[in-house]
Amino acid sequence: MEKESKIYVAGHRGLVGSALKRKLESKGYTNLIFRTHKELDLINQQAVNEFFEQEKPEYVFLAAAKVGGILANSTYPAEFIYENLMIESNIIHAAYKCGVKKLLFLGSSCIYPKLAPQPLKEEYLLTGSLEETNEAYAISKIAGIRLCKHYNQQYGTNFISVMPTNLYGPNDNFDLETSHVMPALIRKFHEAKVNNKPEVVVWGTGKPLREFMHVDDMADACVFLMENYDFSEVGEFVNIGVGEDVTISELVELIKKIVGFEGKINYDTSKPDGTPRKLMDVSRLNGLGWKAKISLEDGIKETYEWYQNQIK
């Protein structure tokens, strides 16, 4: 990518897209194009085709998606599979038709089988059953990876896919109904502290292991891959993560400390835990010359500051 290359970031207002926007701008890319959902409905194929024909982007970061945690995924599975399939199909096909030089598709670590060996290597894709609570989302993301692969095979495109681990950071979703575990916990502990509540209730047993990556690290990895590597060099897709995990209870204690909550923690074991462990094998990415830089504690501190500024 040249600094003046025309780059379209799909989903620039979300957690991932906004981090990509920040990273590209900080690296001196000057010809970035964006559209809000009101300006361009990515589920509408005709609208997407017209946008690509008009703007003719050279590079595309496909970060737009319908996302949520266990509750949202299990409550609205039809919406998750339909909307994500439509978004990625429309953008990938339009990118091919308009001769986009390179596209980066963002998947998710939930694509891996529920009981896959740990850490998760890229080759474990489609070797077992998925976690039931987010099967619809996972299938849509697997379809996106395979769309990129098969368009590359048939049409000679250069569409690469990345699988980020659990992400957090500025512009995350802090809605308790639809958010992921990190922002939900930050909000719960903050509200409990402000309202002098005696305890915070946490879903599940606290035993599952999860890997967490600051979204600015993830954006840095994506831009690095777009600048340096092609589909033929990196294989079907590349895991993006930090390569180490913590238990949910360890995360809970860390957030409790950072927020300054002094009450008790009560685990509601009637609620689901989800997958027992999801640690990414990042040896492929590390081998390409990239490693995560932001520590979990520093990342949570920054995210909590951002959240406090938003609610002010």
Number of structural domains in the chain: 1
pLDDT value at position 26?
97
Identify which of 169, 180, 187 has the alpha carbon closest to the alpha carbon of residue 69. Answer: 180
| Cross-strand pairs, 204 | none
Query: Domain for residue 162, yes or no?
Result: yes
Q: Is residue 258 a part of any domain in this protein? A: no
* Dist. CA 279–CA 62, nearest whole Å: 23
Decide if 308 is inside a domain.
no
Q: 90 or 178, which is more confident?
A: 90
Query: Are 248 and 206 contacting, i.e. CB atoms less than 8 angstroms apart?
Result: yes
The single residue of 59, 137, 304, 307 carrying the catalytic annotation is 137
Q: Would residue 236 count as lying in a domain?
A: yes
pLDDT in tens, 10-66: 999 999 999 999 999 999 999 999 999 999 999 999 999 999 999 999 999 999 998
Cβ-based neighbours of 117, under 8 Å, separated by 6 or more: 124
Q: Is 243 annotated as a binding residue?
A: no
Ligand-binding annotation for 108, yes or no, is yes
Residue 224 falls inside a structural domain? yes
CB-CB contact of 231 with 164 (8 Å) = no
CATH value at residue 116: 3.40.50.720
Greatest alpha-carbon span in the chain: 60
Known catalytic residue at 137: yes
Range of the domain at 151: 7-169+212-243+279-293
Task: Give the whole-angstrom CA distance, residue 213 versus residue 168.
Answer: 6
Residue at 206 is within a domain: no
pLDDT for the residue numbered 70: 73
The per-residue pLDDT for 161 is 96
pLDDT computed for residue 233 by the predictor:
74
Q: Is 11 annotated as a binding residue?
A: yes
Residue 136 lies in a domain: yes
Model pLDDT, residue 100: 98
Model confidence at 278: pLDDT above 90: no
pLDDT over 80 (residue 68)? no
Computed over every residue of the chain, the mean pLDDT equals 94
Q: What is the pLDDT of residue 277?
A: 84
299 annotated as belonging to a binding site for a ligand: no
132 domain residue, yes or no: yes
Per-residue model confidence (pLDDT) at position 73: 80
Q: What percent of the chain is modeled with pLDDT above 70?
A: 100
pLDDT for the residue numbered 275: 75
99 burial via Cβ count (<10 Å: 0-12, 13-18, 19+):
exposed
Tell me if 273 is assigned to a ligand binding site. yes
Annotated binding residue at 107? yes
What pLDDT sits at residue 71? 76
Give 164-203 pLDDT, tens digit per residue: 999 999 999 898 877 788 999 999 999 999 999 999 999 9
93 is in an annotated binding site: no
pLDDT on residue 72: 75
The answer to the question of whether 167 is labelled as a binding residue is: yes
